[in-house]
């Protein structure tokens, strides 16, 4: 979603803003712009398209020269991507950039029109806010922002400059993320840490409806009621390199290769004497014994991690787990009460629908547990308990390592819960935990062993218009993610299907040469899946089978076989994920797509 940056300091502001916006490209955008104080006047440059288009435009028309300003990458919501709809937007004396949605912008626009403010150039909700700020501006920027905060509704973060307050940047947030970076004699605002990590690791988290005033290399915070507030300075625990490609052609492949380390870093601190121990996350065996039902609610890839979690928790701990899509769950008046545990999984911790679910279930007194990657994010702060995944920054829009660490947390939770409830013995819990500890090395071996195979097999997919991913049990849960990954970045239509359900309709889609990727890693279901593979092969499908090294399968059933190491079937998803990621990655590369920034997608979906 949109990215916001801002800068006040001695460097060339335009350069800093462009550099910082480049680091937010992963969020997804379709236009970009900046506003900089040049000789005391606000100069705006903006353009539809990529940041390179903006830079090209500035090279032709003149780059704003100054030391304070704001910048933006826009992911269109209100109004098509165009030069005029790009941010910044201005009223007469106010210029702003905005991430999020202003829900009541139509009423505000009408109010402004009724008060003779009719100069709207764009279709955006943002311009309405710029005009409203201008309408109330009486020479006191903070008072004006506070006034506007009382009138606008929605989730948003704003970067604001006032024409008569040169060299000063104002910022405010309501729901949408915003941080304030503090360097030596310079200050920044940004939607996310990677934007500023090149300049400083120290940052403040702006809270709901807090206002930041950036001036003279320092920042002052005040509340909605105008009270000056002190905030804690945080330090990012990763460096610039982790937000760079480090020699890989794309972030996605770098992040696939980072998975062994990410899993190790996530699970190691949560294992004590060979047993899972989530006490540092506020979770004790007593807590885990106390729930009647579990709900896992999330979006996209995180929801798919929850699907695997359901199979594993139900199998081991014998508790009923319902997995739901956050955008559906929030509107279906779910049957939840204080006896239930709701697990929200989210890489960013800022996804609008997942956040809404968290508030909803808290109102119904359910216990809430967040599984989140971004420290200090809204979901992490608002849940009763939080298990941080330690994947480090995930920049590619298509999630890989974040999914893998979410899986590892699902396993830890299932093991500890099953043990706490007396469903597995201590010995069994130790055995499972030890196997999980060995998984990072096996992921590493798997990547090395099959990367070339997947690269080759992907060349067989690039001409497909549509394909199916099939599997049973955990393989089915997993194939949902494999299918999503592939469609996100290869733009090939793909559907995941429970293998046994195919013959109830979907098998009619099979035509000569249509690719079917079968995940067949569950020994107990192998024969059944094999029959389903034969069924589609007999109808002309080109079959690609992901199975373990010892699986008894021949090339008369599978056109291509991707063999992965065998571990216990319950943990196979953590290994079988790798070929699915690599197939998606290389198909996208072979099609010449923009792998890290697939069209129309955003990394963090902060609007509904
Ligand atoms: C977007 C991203 C997905 C992600 C989903 C949920 O759609 O493109 O990769 O899985 O949001 O995001 P979250 O940050 O809540 O995990």
User: What does the pLDDT read at residue 27?
Assistant: 75
Task: Return d(Cα 459, Cα 590) in angstroms, integer.
Answer: 7
- pLDDT tier at 607, thresholds 50, 70, 90: confident
Any ligand 1 atom below 6 A from CB of 605? yes
Q: Measured from the CB, is residue 58 less than 6 Å from ligand 1?
A: no
Give ∠ CA 532-314-392 in degrees, rounded to 5. Answer: 90
Residue 414 pLDDT level (bands cut at 50, 70, 90): very high
Nearest CA, atom 5, ligand 1: 300
Q: Contact 102/148 with Cβ under 8 angstroms?
A: no
193: left (phi over 0), alpha (psi -120 to 50) or beta: alpha
Ligand 1 in contact with 603 (CB < 6 A)? yes
Our answer on whether the CB atom of 604 is closer than 6 Å to any ligand 1 atom is yes
Least Cα distance to 406 among 528, 552, 306, 523 occurs for 306
CA angle 208, 214, 217 (to 5 degrees): 135
Give kind and range of the element (H or E) at residue 156.
strand 154-162
Nearest 10 degrees: Cα torsion 98, 100, 106, 110: -30
Q: Which of helix, strand or coil describes residue 562?
A: strand
Q: What is the band of 466 on the pLDDT scale with cuts at 50, 70, 90?
A: very high
What is the Rg, in whole angstroms, of the alpha carbon atoms belonging to the chain?
Answer: 25
For ligand 1, atom 2: residue with the closest CA: 603
For ligand 1, pick from 305, 344, 348 the residue to mutate: most ligand atoms within 8 Å of CB: 348
Whole-angstrom Cα distance, residue 64 to residue 54?
12
Q: What is the pLDDT of residues 336-367, one digit of tens each?
A: 999 999 999 999 999 999 999 999 999 999 99
pLDDT at 1 over 80: no
User: What is the spatial distance between Cα 133 and Cα 146, in angstroms, rounded to a whole number?
Assistant: 10
> Given 2, 13, 174, 547, which residue is catalytic?
2
Specify the residue with its C-alpha closest to ligand 1, atom 3: 300
Per residue in 98-141, pLDDT tens?
998 898 999 999 999 999 887 888 988 999 999 999 999 999 99
Contact at 8 Å (CB) between 69 and 97? no
pLDDT at 239 over 90: no
Tokens of 491: 């733009």
The stretch 428-446 carries a mean pLDDT of 97
Q: Which residue has the higher pLDDT, 24 or 543?
A: 543
603 is catalytic: yes
CB 568 within 8 A of CB 583: no
Cα(304) to ligand 1 centroid in Å equals 11
Q: Are 11 and 19 in contact (CB under 8 A)?
A: no
Q: Is the CB of 302 under 6 A from ligand 1?
A: yes
Q: 70-79, 519-528, 537-546 — which is least confidently predicted? A: 70-79
Q: What is the CA(73)–ligand 1 centre distance, in A?
A: 18
Q: Which of 605, 603, 529, 480 is nearest to 25 (CA)?
A: 603
Q: Is the torsion defined by CA of 470, 474, 480, 485 positive or negative?
A: negative
Residue 144 CB partners (closer than 8 Å, separation 6+): 133, 136, 137, 138
Distance in angstroms (rounded) separating the CA atoms of residues 392 and 394: 6
Q: Is the CB of 348 under 6 A from ligand 1?
A: yes
How big is the CA angle at 464 (ends 461 and 468), to the nearest 5 degrees?
A: 85
Atom 15 of ligand 1, residue of closest alpha carbon: 346
Place of tokens 């099979």: 510
Task: Determine the average pLDDT of the residues in 43-52.
Answer: 93
DSSP assignment of 412-468: HHHHHHHHHTTSS-HHHHHHHHHHHHHHHHHHHHHHHHHHHHHHHHHTTTTT-SEEE
State the closest ligand 1 atom to the C-alpha of 300, by its place in the atom list counted from 1. Answer: 10
Look over the chain and give the mean of its residue pLDDT values, rounded to a whole number: 94
- Round to the nearest angstrom and report the end-to-end CA distance of the chain: 11
Name the pLDDT band for 472 (thresholds 50, 70, 90): very high
- CA of 303, closest atom in ligand 1: 10
pLDDT of 155: 83
What ligand 1 atom has the least distance to the C-alpha of 299? 6
Q: Please state, in angstroms and rounded to a whole number, the distance separating the CA atoms of residues 229 and 220.
A: 8
- Assess whether 13 carries a catalytic annotation: no
Catalytic residue (one of 48, 254, 485, 603): 603
pLDDT on residue 123: 86
**Residue 57 contacts residue 87 (beta carbons within 8 Å):** no
Q: Beta strand 542-548 with 515-520: parallel, antiparallel or unpaired?
A: parallel
Residue 432 pLDDT: 97
Q: How many CA atoms lie within 13 A of 28 on its CB side?
A: 18
Q: Which of 2, 27, 603, 608 to mutate to test the pocket of ligand 1 (most atoms within 8 A of CB)?
A: 603
Q: In what helix (H) or strand (E) does residue 102 lie, and over which residues does it extend? A: strand 94-102
Question: Helix, strand, coil % (nearest 5) of the chain?
Answer: 40, 25, 35
**3-class state of residue 113 by DSSP:** helix
């Amino acid at each position: 979603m949109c990215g916001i940056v801002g800068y006040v300091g001695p460097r060339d502001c335009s350069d800093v803003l462009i550099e910082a916006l480049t680091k937010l490209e992963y969020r997804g955008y379709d236009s970009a712009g900046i506003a900089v104080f040049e000789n005391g006047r606000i100069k705006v440059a903006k353009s539809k398209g990529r940041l390179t288009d903006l830079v090209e435009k500035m090279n032709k028309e003149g780059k704003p020269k100054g030391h304070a300003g704001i910048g933006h990458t826009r992911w269109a919501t209100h109004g098509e991507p165009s030069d005029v709809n790009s941010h910044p937007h201005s009223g007469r004396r106010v210029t702003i950039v905005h991430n999020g949605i202003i829900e009541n912008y139509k009423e505000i626009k009408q109010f402004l029109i009724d008060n003779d403010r009719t100069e709207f150039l764009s279709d955006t909700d943002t311009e309405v806010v710029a005009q409203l700020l201008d309408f109330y501006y009486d020479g006191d920027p903070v008072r004006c922002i506070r006034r506007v905060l009382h009138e606008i509704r929605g989730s948003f973060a704003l970067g604001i400059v006032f024409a008569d307050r040169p060299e000063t940047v104002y910022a405010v947030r309501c729901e949408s993320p915003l941080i304030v970076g503090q360097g030596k004699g310079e200050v920044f605002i940004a939607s996310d840490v990677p934007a500023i990590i090149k300049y400083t690791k120290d940052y403040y988290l702006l809270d709901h409806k807090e206002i930041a005033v950036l001036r003279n290399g320092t920042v002052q915070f005040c509340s909605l009621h105008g009270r000056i507030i002190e905030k804690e300075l945080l330090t990012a625990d990763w460096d610039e390199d982790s937000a760079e490609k480090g020699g890989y052609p794309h972030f996605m492949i770098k992040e696939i290769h980072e998975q062994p380390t990410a899993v190790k870093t996530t699970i190691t601190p949560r294992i004590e004497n060979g047993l899972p121990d989530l006490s540092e996350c506020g979770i004790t065996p007593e807590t885990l014994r106390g729930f009647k039902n579990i709900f896992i609610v999330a979006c996209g890839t995180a929801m798919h991690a929850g699907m695997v979690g359901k199979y594993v928790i139900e199998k081991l701990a014998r508790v009923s787990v319902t997995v739901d899509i956050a955008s559906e769950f929030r509107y279906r008046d779910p049957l939840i009460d204080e006896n239930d545990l709701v697990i929200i999984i989210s890489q960013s911790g800022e996804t609008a629908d997942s956040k809404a679910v968290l508030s909803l279930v808290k109102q119904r007194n359910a216990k809430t547990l967040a599984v989140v990657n971004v420290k200090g994010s809204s979901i992490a702060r608002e849940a009763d308990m939080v298990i941080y995944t330690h994947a480090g920054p995930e920049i590619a829009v298509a999630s890989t390592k974040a999914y893998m660490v979410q899986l590892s947390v699902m396993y830890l939770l299932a093991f500890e819960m099953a043990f706490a409830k007396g469903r597995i013995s201590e010995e069994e819990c130790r055995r499972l935990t030890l196997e999980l500890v060995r998984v990072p090395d096996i992921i590493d071996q798997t990547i090395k062993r099959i990367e070339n195979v997947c690269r080759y097999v992907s060349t067989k997919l690039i001409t497909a218009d549509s394909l199916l991913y099939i599997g049973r049990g955990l393989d089915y849960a997993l194939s949902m993610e494999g299918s999503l990954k592939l469609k996100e970045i290869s733009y090939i239509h793909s559907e995941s299907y429970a293998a046994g359900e195919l013959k109830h309709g979907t098998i009619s889609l099979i035509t000569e040469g249509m690719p079917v990727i079968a995940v067949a890693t569950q020994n107990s279901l192998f024969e059944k899946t094999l029959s389903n593979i034969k069924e589609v092969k007999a109808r002309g499908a080109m079959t690609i089978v992901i199975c373990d090294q010892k699986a008894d399968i021949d090339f008369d059933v599978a056109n291509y076989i991707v063999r992965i190491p065998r571990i216990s079937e319950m943990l196979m998803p953590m290994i079988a994920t790798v070929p699915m990621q690599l197939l998606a990655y290389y198909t996208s590369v072979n099609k010449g797509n923009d792998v890290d920034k697939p069209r129309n997608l955003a990394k963090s979906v902060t609007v509904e």
